[in-house]
Amino acid sequence: MKERIVITGIAGRLGRLLAKRLHRSGNREIIGIDRRPFEDKPADVVHKRVDIRSKRTRDVFRTQPISALVHLGLMHDPKRSNRTHNQWNVVGTQQLLEYCMHFRVPKVIVVSSAAVYGPRPENPQFLTEDSPLLAAQDDLGALSLVEADMLASSFFWKYREGETVILRPVHILGQVANAASNYLRMERIPVLMGYDPMMQVIHEADVVDAVLLALKPGVRGIYNVAGPGEVPISVLIRESGRPTFPIPHLAAPLVSKLFWNLGLAPFRGTELNHLRYVCTVDDSRARKELGFRATRTIKEAVRAALDDTY
């Protein structure tokens, strides 16, 4: 029987990469769910332009047996309100998981983020999968992401006949439109004076590798997915070759708000703690159980974020 894999958020950068990798490897039918248009879509990929919260998403699961769901469609866009984020991430994820339970989907993969642990001064250097998800403590914008991750974790325990995998990759670099890549793409990169925490980054293609490994039968659980290693932010910026401008940390919230309002900064400044404190993870479980190992170097990851094709 043909494997039928549903990918939410397929028109995003990660979704497109994953769809291309999956459809190339043979006996699979790919169904993408995304409101956005999917440019240069491979001909045999089915793209449903629907909202994940709508009834028509349910029809995808109802009309045919689905062998796996890859939920890439979590929203993290500073231009949208917290309310929209909650609607999309919490309600959307909950409904998707409900469909999976109801229509007995044997494999569910949720791509969350290591940012759900939250950068905090008290963090141990290497957060394990059991660490509490405290990102919303200082950044309410991350609340819906934390909640979506928790929904998936509780689904993992509720739905024991299927295999649930939650991936928590570190900052993804590439042509993705996330905060980390946007940060390195700035003309002059703002840094906080006197702070230079260790950071982990991962190349977008390595994240796709991790998803492919998680699709293997028998894999279930929560996995931190880390890149090739940890370096201070200053090394990442040096690799990007961009000039920096230091801001005193006490002025940073105001400055970043001002820049956001003027349309000069790609983020609101609620994530400033990532420039202050560590939020690095221990990925030994993914190495041992998934057999995952990032193959792209830090240099390659930074290059991928700066490539102008985006």
When asked if residue 291 is in the footprint of other proteins (CB under 8 A), the reply is no
Site residues for other proteins, 151-190, by CB under 8 A, read: none
Percentages helix, strand, coil for the chain (3-state, rounded to 5) are 40, 20, 40
Q: How far apart are CA 45 and CA 136, in angstroms?
A: 36
Q: How far apart are CA 153 and CA 175, in angstroms?
A: 28
Q: How far is the CB of 191 from other proteins (least distance, A)?
A: 11
When asked if residue 138 is in the footprint of other proteins (CB under 8 A), the reply is no
Cβ distance to other proteins smaller for residue 124 or 291: 124
**Residue type (1 letter), 1:** M
Q: How far apart are CA 282 and CA 125, in angstroms?
A: 8
When asked if residue 124 is in the footprint of other proteins (CB under 8 A), the reply is yes
Cβ distance to other proteins smaller for residue 154 or 284: 284
When asked if residue 193 is in the footprint of other proteins (CB under 8 A), the reply is yes
Site residues for other proteins, 93-112, by CB under 8 A, read: none
184: closest CA among 266, 118, 255, 248? 266
Query: For the residues of 123-153, what is the DSSP string, one character each?
Result: --SSB-TTS---GGGT-GGGHHHHHHHHHHH
Site residues for other proteins, 212-251, by CB under 8 A, read: 229-232, 235, 248-249
Give the one residue of 125, 154, 261, 295 binding other proteins; rule: CB under 8 A.
125
Cβ distance to other proteins smaller for residue 84 or 125: 125
User: In the 8-state DSSP scheme, what is residue 241?
Assistant: T
* End-to-end Cα spacing for the chain: 37
Give the one residue of 92, 141, 169, 197 binding other proteins; rule: CB under 8 A.
197
Give the one residue of 122, 161, 187, 308 binding other proteins; rule: CB under 8 A.
122
Binding site for other proteins (CB under 8 A): 121-126, 128, 192-198, 229-232, 235, 248-249, 276-278, 282, 298
